[in-house]
Structure 1
Amino acid sequence: MTDKPIPLPNVSGPILTKIIQYCQHHKDDASRRQPKPSNYDLENDCSEAAVQQAIEKMDDFDRDFCRVDQGTLYDLLLAANFLDIQPLLDLVGYTVASMMKDKSVQEIRDTFHIKNDFTPEEEKRVIKENSWCEN
């Protein structure tokens, strides 16, 4: 063992503290030791039933863990990715995705403070090109 510091340029102290809390809580999870899909993996099925099942699988700690402001949530997402903690990345990514569920484009822009930089013509074109994915 060495006393050399490990550089974590993309992870602040408070975020690292939260990540350590997450890892300590889940250190004995058998499901985390085995290579299998995450409880929150909705990549192949994001139906209402699949979302409800993912929520039911979440323990109270995970639900409470993600009840933070958006900035903290984004910092956790970036840190989980940087540190390659896939279950945490899935959890926080799921939380961010659920913030978009059933929202209009304008509501998503408002939630995430996204400026619409399309001209009206560009926006119409994008909507037309992507109309296949509506409903």
Structure 2
Amino acid sequence: MSPPAKDETNATSTGKNEVRLIPSDEPQGGPGISVERSILIKNMLEDVGEGSMEEEIPIPNVNRAVLEKVIAWCTKHQGDPPSTGDEDNDSRRKTTDIDEWDQKFMQVDQEMLFEIILAANYLDIKALLDIGCKTVANMIKGKSPEDIRKTFNIQNDFTPEEEAQIRAENEWAEDR
């Protein structure tokens, strides 16, 4: 007797390095993810032992659309070597260094971009978090405070006097 057919939209292999995640907005199940990119999931499996872990893990802070984006990124970067501490320090200084695929991946609306950053932080996917933060840094780079407020829809709550004081205190940081 053959096993029942799985719904292809939610079917994923759950081998040793993959587990199915359940997004916050879809309690019946979600897509699979390679655990090697998510420290949170890797640690969960190590803590409870892979044999005793169910094949599905609820992810209450991430909806399906964001989870699918995160999984797409993890799938693309599945074979990437883990970064070393030296590379991390160097790459953090280079905010514009994002490879072409990742730049295209991050070309989403602001809400989705920030949801991806939050999900990467929650799932402890450091490389994706760094790319998300670099993307936001590149959005800010070279802009005036007024332009940044416009870009991110931030209201200026400083009085003109407070703003002048802050500018005077931070004059040394201005591009010359």
- Do both proteins adopt the same fold according to a TM-score greater than 0.5, normalized to the shorter chain? yes
CA shift for structure 1 position 40: 8.2
Greater displacement, 1-10 / 79-88? 1-10
When residues 66 and 39 of structure 1 are mapped into structure 2, their CA distance, relative to the original with a 3 A threshold, is: farther
2:130 matches 1:90: yes
2:68 matches 1:14: no
Instruction: Let me know the Cα RMSD of the aligned residues.
Output: 2.1
Match of 1:3 among 43, 54, 61: 54
Structure 2: give runs of 5+ residues left out of the alignment.
Answer: 1-50
Instruction: Give distance in 2, aligned partners of 1:87 and 1:40.
Output: 13
The structure with more strand, counted as a fraction of residues = 2
Instruction: Give distance in 2, aligned partners of 1:85 and 1:40.
Output: 18
Instruction: Give distance in 2, aligned partners of 1:63 and 1:117.
Output: 33
The structure with more helix, counted as a fraction of residues = 1
* Cα-to-partner distance string for 1:14-67 (whole Å, 9 max, x where unaligned): 10111011001100113xx24242598233x56xxxx3xx14xx0x32121101
TM-score with structure 1 setting the length: 0.81
Identity of aligned residues (%): 43
Q: How does 1:90-129 map to 2 (within 5 A)?
A: 90-129=130-169
Instruction: Give distance in 2, aligned partners of 1:129 and 1:122.
Output: 11
Structure with greater Cα Rg: 2
TM-score with structure 2 setting the length: 0.63
User: Does structure 2 conserve the Cα–Cα contact (< 8 Å) formed by 1:100 and 1:108?
Assistant: yes
Query: Residue in 2 aligned with 1:134?
Result: 174
CA shift for structure 1 position 130: 1.0
Instruction: Give distance in 2, aligned partners of 1:13 and 1:101.
Output: 31
User: Does structure 2 conserve the Cα–Cα contact (< 8 Å) formed by 1:40 and 1:91?
Assistant: no
Structure 1: give runs of 5+ residues left out of the alignment.
Answer: none
